[in-house]
Amino acid sequence: MPRRLHVLPGQPHPLGARPLRDGTNFSVHSQRAQRVELLLYDAVDAAQPARVIRLDDPAHRTWHYWHVFVPGVRPGQLYAWRAHGAFEPARGRCFDAGKVLLDPYGRAVETPPDWSRAAARTPGANDAQAAKSVVCDDHDYDWQGDQPLRRPFAQTVIYELHVRGFTRHASSGVAAPRAGTYAGLVEKIPYLRALGVTAVELMPVFQFDPQDAPPGLVNYWGYAPVSFFAPHAGYASRPGALAARHEFRDMVRALHRAGLEVILDVVYNHTAEGDERGPTYGLRGLDDGTYYLRDADGRYANYSGCGNTLAANHAVVRRLVLDSLRYWVRVMHVDGFRFDLAAILARDEFGQPLANPPLLWDIESDPVLAGTKLIAEAWDAAGLYQVGRFVGQHWKEWNGRFRDDVRAFVRGDAGVVPALADRLLGSPDLYGARPREPAQSINFVTSHDGFTLDDLVSYDRKHNEANGEGNRDGSDDNRSWNCGAEGPSDDPGVLALRTRQVKNLLAITVLSLGTPMLAMGDEMRRSQRGNNNAYCQDNETSWLDWTLLQRHAEIHRFVQGLVRIRNLRESVQRDHRLTLAELMQRVRVQLHGVHLGAPDTGHESRSLAVTAYSLSGDLLMHFALNAWWEPLDFDLPALPADAPGGWLRIIDSARPSPQDLVDPAEAEGAIGARHRVEPRSVVVLFAPLR
């Protein structure tokens, strides 16, 4: 039988488990529970707790906070909660006295070998099959002077990657047990530095439920959180939740030493508990009515597309999210966050968009987060689209309009040129009306969600049959083009065109005004064989095949060169703190078509040219883009007398490597008054001025 233990009332603050000199203070919020019990376990797969501590009201309850101080409990102790009360889902009461519940503030999560989503979904006890929280000491790590880097956005190039998928493939050169782990990523830091990126954006690393997937598959992406504080233990090379905490911090410290920032893709819009058919892991069993939104009929509101939606602007949930963010900055030293489906965080208790969402303004104004990168995916799964009008001044945005318009232009769609001009110039139509910096727009054409870059030029339609959902999942609006053959091809013409299109997309992404983001493996043409929603493919479909690096060395070299050329811009070299409007005025941007000063914005146009000066006025740059299927001759601006070298061709995506991209010191000069731009290609010219 579980042993009873002499305890003290404890304190309601701080929430979670806080180890002190003589024991540990535990505190949890539950407004609707009638009784709460703290469970202490000797083993993660124990069939029952070693000790059960009943929190008696009022000695262990202050308002809606249940708390207790347990002498002798030290870091490493496994624990969980149990909450008693009514089962009235429509009234926010989903209590099941048999369910083992994770601490919402738990710093680490230990999972038993037979962790069972099914057992958490059915009534009754599930001790042996339930995940447990672990008491942790936030000061148990020697950072050796490390701090977040706080690099300006203007100097940032983001590389989105999946911790497991980055080094899990046998070709990665990372040996077991480090392959597919935080430690494995550390081994690839020299590769990331040589590529030229300055920040890694890690797909979800909060502890998540890998069983939240179709039968026979696993949740690979990780957008199924069960904790907002614990690093995912499955990404550690050593067993145990505490080892995962240490290894995560080792990774952050190593990345910082190499000058690379760490941005976390965070999920505060829903949890793995899903809808009424889902498991009870923690929040549902503790206080469903506080943590989740429900509709007028009492069902879970589903603005996330994942079954439930957190009540982000409830005071208790706001505190949870803010405390989580502060923890990852203060204790885990991360540099920033990309907020998944961030528009959900702007919804009120009825699901309606708020003009001034409390949570988003709390994050915007929090002094702990003042130097932290905040990036919003400014839409949600229910149609709320806030790109260009997300709240505040601190936030940057994933620019979905950039992705869609650039894909459409490069594919050769009609009617896209006016939008393309805005995307190249930092999207002034979206951000120019407010005092935004040019880096406001996170520019990308691919991410984890959708086609890879290679698939974007290799498939006309998605091929998601392996996901087990009848190819119904994933977006049908991909704006892709297979260049004449669906999927793999050995046709030299098709292959050459695909290579050119890949270079066009990369050049526009990296060189446009804004903050560029590349997806893992695009620099070596990783393919998912047409699967544009590989969230459940923890296999070679999703893992990075490092043999592609040699096979597509031409593209890898091209990306490295693009980053070097981008870094030549003074707006990148120094943080000028200019707004987008001020920068546009300083660099004297001019738009052209094939004729100077006459941009063709007609429906059938597929060409655009842009001329701009450097901030100091010592470099003139000219960009010519031809998405037409025939060559076009572009007029070139006349050069002043202080440009004796004439125009230098820096980039021409139609030319074979290495002539496709050259350093300015090695570029060909003396290009005449007109320049031919080959079909479906991008040309960049420089003219140094004395």
For the annotated catalytic residues, the residue numbers are 340, 377
3-state secondary structure (DSSP) of residue 368: helix
Residues 290 and 284: beta-carbon distance below 8 Å = no
Alpha carbon distance 4, 107 (integer Å):
25
Residue 187, number of CB atoms within 10 A of its CB: 18
- 159: Cβ–Cβ under 8 A, 6 or more apart, which residues? 192, 195, 197, 199, 200, 201, 517, 518, 520
Cis peptide before 9 (omega within 30 of 0): no
Q: Classify 514 in phi/psi space as left (phi over 0), alpha (psi -120 to 50) or beta.
A: left
Element (H, E) at 51: strand 51-55
Q: Tokens at residue 276, please? A: 């009424």
Which residue shows structure tokens 């030299």?
Answer: 492
Residues 570 and 505: beta-carbon distance below 8 Å = no
Alpha carbon distance 478, 413 (integer Å):
13
Q: Tokens at residue 544, please? A: 């990075």
Amino acid at site 608: L
3-state secondary structure (DSSP) of residue 23: strand
Residues 149 and 335: beta-carbon distance below 8 Å = yes
Alpha carbon distance 424, 509 (integer Å):
8
Angle between helices 400-411 and 492-511 (to 10 degrees): 140
> In the chain, what are the helix, strand and coil shares in percent, each to the nearest 5?
25, 20, 50
List the one residue out of 412, 415, 388 whose CA is nearest residue 400: 388
Please classify residue 89 by burial: count the beta carbons closer than 10 Å to its beta carbon, then call 0-12 exposed, 13-18 middle and 19+ buried. middle
Alpha carbon distance 611, 659 (integer Å):
22
Which residue shows structure tokens 């920032």?
Answer: 261
List the one residue out of 322, 184, 203 whose CA is nearest residue 254: 184
Angle in degrees, CA 463, 387, 382, rounded to 5: 60
Residues 116 and 129: beta-carbon distance below 8 Å = yes
From residue 427, alpha-carbon distances to 430, 444, 515, 565 in Å are 5, 13, 12, 21
**Residue 640 DSSP class:** P
